[in-house]
Amino acid sequence: MQRAIYPGSFDPMTFGHLDIIERAASIFDELTVSVLNNTAKTPLFSVEERVNILKEATAHLPNVKVESFSGLLIDYAKKKDIHVAIRGLRAITDFEYELQIAQTNKKLSRESLDTIFLTTSLEYAYLSSSSVKEIAYFGGDISQCVPKFVADKVYEKYGFPQNGVENE
């Protein structure tokens, strides 16, 4: 059975993430989407909230599990006996950062963890969780970036009515 981990912050999950999840789930027998519990950052959503969002968004994918992890990805992967990490590449600007992490993980894991990159579908190449948060912070329209139930939660965090101020 071929298994993979898709790690990330997912703060919040976007259509770009969902696209990578759906495609990775069609390649691997089992995909574990894992939310990093990074105590050094102050996220918009708690780990539990991000896990729940991912669970709801992937409920139609029977071979996808959602979990969280702390610490190094290689340690978490080793504990689960998984040897492939999935990451999405949107543009060349992602590549340098992702290559460095992939090579670090390969070296640190003593060749046990490989990274497979999926190129984000062009329609989502512009998307990032940071821009979603910035647009929503100013009450802009994020309906093309995240599922409706996620947009509602993001606006709620910023104290807006459900569709943001611009669409009232």
Active site residues: 17, 41, 90, 129
Beta carbon nearer to ligand PNS, 37 or 163: 37
Beta carbon nearer to ligand PNS, 101 or 135: 101
For residue 7, is the peptide bond before it cis, meaning its omega torsion is within 30 degrees of 0? Answer: no
Residues near ligand PNS (CB under 6 A)? 7-9, 36, 72-73, 101, 104-105
**Least CB distance to ligand PNS at residue 83 (A):** 15
**Least CB distance to ligand PNS at residue 67 (A):** 13
| Beta strands in 84-164, from DSSP E residues, in sequence order | 84-89, 114-119
- What residue spans of 58-121 are helical by DSSP H? 73-80, 92-108
Nearest to 67 by CA among 95, 98, 30: 30
Beta carbon nearer to ligand PNS, 17 or 139: 17
**Least CB distance to ligand PNS at residue 7 (A):** 4
Counting other chains too, the contacts that 38-41 makes at CB distance below 8 Å and 24 or more residues apart are: 38/9, 39/70, 41/9
